[in-house]
């Protein structure tokens, strides 16, 4: 007969199994945590607001009893304080700016990549049309260019022979 676990053993066993099946929450990144909350239909802002309200009540109790509010509680209240309307607007504006900047950067990256593919690599070309006094180096460069063009002309104007 199978031995039934004691309640404590059953609890521990259940917890161990559960934790073996799911990833540890401390290793999740912020986005994964947000997604998890969202799939369970929980708004993170609502958690913060509820926690702040609750901690405010605790702080009020301390004050009414003439006790000093613990520094941890003060810190938590400061961190969880819901943003004011102005802060919310600023936050939304900065989020919108960041989103627009990200879109523009993406467009810029894509157009640069497309231009690189389409346009040939630009290289400086010498021009002698308006130059009066040619130096030896200029003449040599022109001669080389002429030779190159002649060579190209020969290749393109050469007619195929019968054997070809």
Partner 1 sequence: MPPNSSDAIDYGSLLDRLTAHACQFLNASRTAAKSKVVQGTALSPKDFAIDLVEKLALGEIPHDNSQGIGGLIRYLTVAIEHDILDALDRAEHKRVDFLDPIVVAQDDQEGQEKALADLGATPDDPADWLDGELFKSRAYSLVEHDPELKEMAIAIFEVNALKPREIAAVCMTTTTEIQNRKKRFALLLQKMEYKPKKRGAA
Task: List residues binding partner 1 (CB under 8 A).
Answer: 4-5, 7, 10-11, 13-30, 32-34, 36-37, 39-42, 44, 46-48, 50-51, 54-55, 58, 70, 72-73, 75-76, 79-80
Residue closer to partner 1, measured from CB, 30 or 136: 30
Cβ at position 141, least distance to partner 1 in Å: 59
What is the DSSP-derived secondary structure letter of residue 162?
Answer: T
Residue closer to partner 1, measured from CB, 46 or 103: 46
Residue closer to partner 1, measured from CB, 34 or 98: 34
Measure the CA–CA gap between 161 and 164, rounded to whole angstroms. Answer: 5
What 3-state DSSP class applies to 163? coil
Q: Please give the angle made by the CA atoms of 61, 67 and 73, to the nearest 5 degrees.
A: 65
Residue closer to partner 1, measured from CB, 9 or 146: 9
Cβ at position 46, least distance to partner 1 in Å: 8
Residue closer to partner 1, measured from CB, 39 or 135: 39
Cβ at position 108, least distance to partner 1 in Å: 27
Cβ at position 90, least distance to partner 1 in Å: 18
CA 131 to chain centre: 53
Cβ at position 75, least distance to partner 1 in Å: 7
The alpha-helical segments, DSSP class H, found in the chain are: 7-21, 30-39, 44-64, 71-80, 85-118, 136-157
Cα–Cα distances in Å, from 144 out to 6, 70, 91, 119, 158?
97, 87, 65, 27, 21
């Amino acid at each position: 007969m199978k031995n039934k676990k004691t309640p404590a053993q059953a609890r521990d066993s259940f917890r161990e199994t559960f934790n073996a099946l799911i990833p540890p929450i401390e290793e999740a990144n912020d986005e994964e945590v947000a997604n998890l909350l969202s799939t369970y239909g929980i708004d993170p802002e609502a958690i913060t607001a509820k926690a702040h309200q609750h901690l405010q009540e605790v702080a009020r109790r301390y004050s009414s009893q003439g006790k000093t509010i613990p520094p941890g509680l003060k810190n938590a209240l400061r961190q969880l304080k819901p943003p004011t309307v102005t802060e919310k607007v600023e936050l939304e504006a900065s989020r919108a700016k960041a989103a627009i900047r990200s879109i523009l950067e993406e467009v810029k990256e894509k157009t640069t990549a497309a231009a690189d593919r389409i346009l040939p690599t630009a290289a400086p070309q010498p021009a002698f049309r308006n130059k009066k006094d040619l130096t030896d180096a200029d003449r040599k460069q022109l001669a080389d260019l002429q030779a190159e063009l002649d060579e190209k002309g020969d290749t393109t104007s050469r007619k195929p022979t019968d054997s070809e």
